[in-house]
Chains A and B, each alone.
Chain A
Amino acid sequence: MAILNTKKVVKRFGGLTAVDDLDLEVKEKSIHSVIGPNGAGKTTFFNCITGFYTPESGDIVLDGESLVGLQPDQITRKGIARTYQNIRLFSNLTAIENVLVGLHPHLKSNLVGAIFRTRGTRKEEEESLIEARRLLQYVGLAGRGDYVAKNLAYGDQRRLEVARALASRPKLLLLDEPAAGMNPRESEALMAFIRRLRDDLGITIVLIEHQMRVVMGISETITVLDYGAKIAEGTPKQIQNDPKVIEAYLGQGSVGEAARTM
């Protein structure tokens, strides 16, 4: 069953069509990759799903509910969370505060509760602290909650971003180049981690990625974009042998050669 469905989504910037008539179907609890050359419209597509851009036309449906026209915070409450290509943590807050902000949609305390620190608010704060610690532990940052986010190592910042995204308890997690800047060993660990997210938590994962080892290694379905349009879709095997994909990546005339090396 599809959890996310986009139908004929179009996003233009002036004369440039960044996303062009894009249909995408993401199966529930699958790991789905979106790849394509630089400037193919992958991140723009993510921004359309999460509500930062409103598509010119088309529909985006999560679990039978249309997301078009909703604000980003409303979409997060519907169950979509994301990470960013260039890490965007709240850099002057501590790691645990970053995760606590992620828990925001699930907390209810209001102005009065906060000022008088009512029993309900106190309980909620204690529980969210426990949950935030658990999430930090889950991504491998146990004991580093008091670090200011900007002082964490690069890899830890990436993990923290995932923990913050998980805090909103998403059904669908969008990862924008999670393996950027990682060496092969770290990529390997990342792949195991992404699989565990899906297997343990039942979260559907859509990722944008350039490292082909990662893409081919964990994806169940791959969608290839070029100039905003879908040019191919299928299993890693099918994509590897698709002449249109090779052409998009390497240019015309290199089809034969590339097919042998890929």
Chain B
Amino acid sequence: MPRVKRAGGVRARTWWQDAIRYGLVGGIAGLQLSLVGMVTTFSNRYIVGDILTLSQAMLAAVALISGYAAARKTHTHSRQMVLAAGALAGLVTGAMLGLLVIVGSLVNLRNVFVNASPELYDLITFGLPTYVGALARTMVSALLGAIAAGTFLLPALPRRIVIQSAVAVVLVGLMADLLRVTIAQWGSISSAFQWLFSGRGLSIAGTIAVIAIVVLGNIYRVRRPATAVKTLQTTRQRQVQIGLIVVILLALPFVMGSYLSEVASQVGLYILMALGLNIVVGFAGLLDLGYVAFFAIGAYTVGILTSPELGFFNMSWWAAMPFAILVAVLFGVFLGVPVLRLRGDYLAIVTLGFGEIVRILVLSDWLKPMIGGSQGIQRIARPTVGGFVFDDPQKLYYLLLLGCVLAAFIAIRLRDSRIGRSWMAVREDEDVAQAMGINLIATKLLAFATGAAFAGLSGAIFAAKLSAAYPNSFNFLVSINVLAIVIVGGMGSIPGVVLGALAMVGLPELLREFAEYRLMVYGAVLVVMMLFRPEGLLPAPIIKRELHETSAPPEPEPEQPTPVTAETAQ
């Protein structure tokens, strides 16, 4: 019998070839985590007290993920084969780790890999002797791969529950210490939560509680009627929902305590900036790499206008804030005019230059008498309302909340208007947009100006938060971070921007202990996101407008012409 060949002569891969491929990828990831030292660093970092350390979780995760990926790749085969593929992928991953230990016992790897320590080998081999331990790691990984494949074979709901539970336990476990400290601030009720935590990480009861919350959440989501009653739900229930969200948002600083509030205000600053950049990049499609410039301009404008140290104006923060926005807008237009004719890459380079110009001007000796050069501006006024001073993160949170809500509102309204449509038309095809009667100059300048306004406001609040402005707060990395938030969140999506800021700014702040590996993880997350979910975490939905109105079946040819001449259409 002739061998079955695909078009082009490329032979289809068999299930075991796929499984080995994913196993190898998982193994490489495992070796990477081990040899950069992440596995050994976190050997005493418990996720679940005395049971699961972060090190073991990482080693297990590579086997689980490779098993799951192999199962997904081979899903067209029978169940037994899918399970076998998962087990095989896990086996290969585990074998590679085992091999590391065996090679390490024969050759001194530490000359090249500093982290290839006996400690690491102990973690991989569960403390067993070299060969037995390597075999044990291989078998455990194969089992984990099979478990992951089994999870893949579950129906949608239980599968989601299993995956979400695993992710939730790891995340909550990582933040367990932080949560415990936060809860300890609540006074008398805090003791009611102590059973959730063991000395290190979550307690077993706490783990069960986390899983229970995930299960209940999923059941609630399934039980809720999807579409039929939605119209009834919209009025009453939505009011309740919105009210609940408002209460939670307002109460948050009290619940969170000062450290988490500090993180929240950092996230808020980035949300505000990302909402602005989302208009420029997400809506209008103008790639701006110098966005930090407007943030700096906002902060420095407030500084110049309020700082008694400089003594130019000595305004209050509230009086200076509108000027900060105005100056940022003016610079937005000022940058916009020369780059109107540029597209894509060229625009990106020019805006990059603009960002650097602003940073270097701020640092320069030339402007030092005005804005303090590398010393920056100190004693910037803090916003006050009556006798209430926004002087710590817990209070500034409210200012940022107000700013973000306002910015999101404006962004949504603009998106749904004629202006938003013309931005999107320019993003899709600039020439055709112009041929549709859209004034490119006005449209692009408006996008730049709106984006600059949000960043200017963010800068003004930032200056109030530090009560100072230093040039090194406004480096290129801020622009890149904001752009990454917009892209990871989902270009053009407003909830996406908020989630993106929480993930890209909030999580790293909460996981400070990873500081050493932060940029590596950041880079890896970006690569993985762009490969597997290029549209972002919460992509912008296509707005449904027409199907709700017309139920008429599509006709191949129109029969009843409707006059739409220039005279009658108005």
Contact = CB atoms under 8 A, between A and B. Distances in A.
Nearest to A130: B549
Interface in B540-567: 542-547, 549-558, 561-566
Contacts of B550: 133, 142-143, 145
Contact of A72 (B424, B435, B556): B435
Interface string A92-109: 111111001110111101
Contacts of A164: 436
A116 B440 CA distance: 24
Most buried by B among A90, A93, A148, A171: A90
A196 B554 contact: no
A218 to B, nearest CB: 17
Interface residues of A, number: 67
B36 to A, nearest CB: 40
A131 B569 CA distance: 8
Contacts of B419: 109, 111, 114
B431 A52 contact: yes
B557 A140 contact: yes
Given A72-B435, A145-B547, A101 B425 contact: yes
Contacts of B440: 73
Nearest to A159: B558
A114 B414 contact: yes
Interface residues on B, range: 35 or more
A88 to B, nearest CB: 5
Contacts of A52: 431, 435
Given A146-B544, A169-B566, A196 B561 contact: yes
B438 interface: yes
A89 B433 CA distance: 10
Interface of B is mostly: loop
A97 B439 contact: no
Interface in A95-144: 95-97, 100-102, 104-107, 109, 111, 113-117, 121, 124-125, 129, 131, 133-144
B542 A94 contact: yes
B309 interface: no
A101 B436 contact: yes
Given A104-B418, A104-B438, A84 B546 contact: no
Interface string B391-433: 0000000000000000000100110011111101100110111
A114 B410 CA distance: 9
Contact of A189 (B429, B547, B557, B561): B557
A168 B434 CA distance: 12
Contact of A92 (B428, B434, B439): B428
B420 to A, nearest CB: 8
A111 B446 contact: yes
A50 interface: yes
Nearest to B545: A96
Contacts of A73: 434-440
Given A92-B428, A168-B437, A101 B557 contact: no
A71 interface: yes
A138 B428 contact: no
Most buried by A among B438, B549, B555, B569: B569
Nearest to A166: B564
A145 B545 contact: yes
A140 B431 contact: no
A251 B420 CA distance: 52
Contact of A71 (B432, B434, B565): B434
Nearest to A88: B432
Ordered nearest first, which 8 A-B pairs have the shortest CB separation? A145-B546, A105-B437, A114-B417, A90-B428, A76-B437, A169-B566, A72-B434, A101-B425
Given A88-B432, A97-B543, 17 more contacts: A50-B435, A72-B435, A73-B438, A93-B424, A94-B545, A97-B424, A104-B421, A105-B437, A111-B446, A114-B413, A114-B414, A137-B558, A142-B552, A143-B547, A145-B550, A168-B437, A200-B561
24 contacts: A79-B566, A88-B431, A90-B433, A92-B424, A94-B545, A96-B545, A100-B421, A104-B422, A111-B414, A111-B419, A113-B417, A129-B545, A131-B569, A133-B549, A138-B564, A140-B556, A142-B550, A142-B552, A143-B546, A143-B551, A145-B547, A145-B550, A169-B565, A200-B561
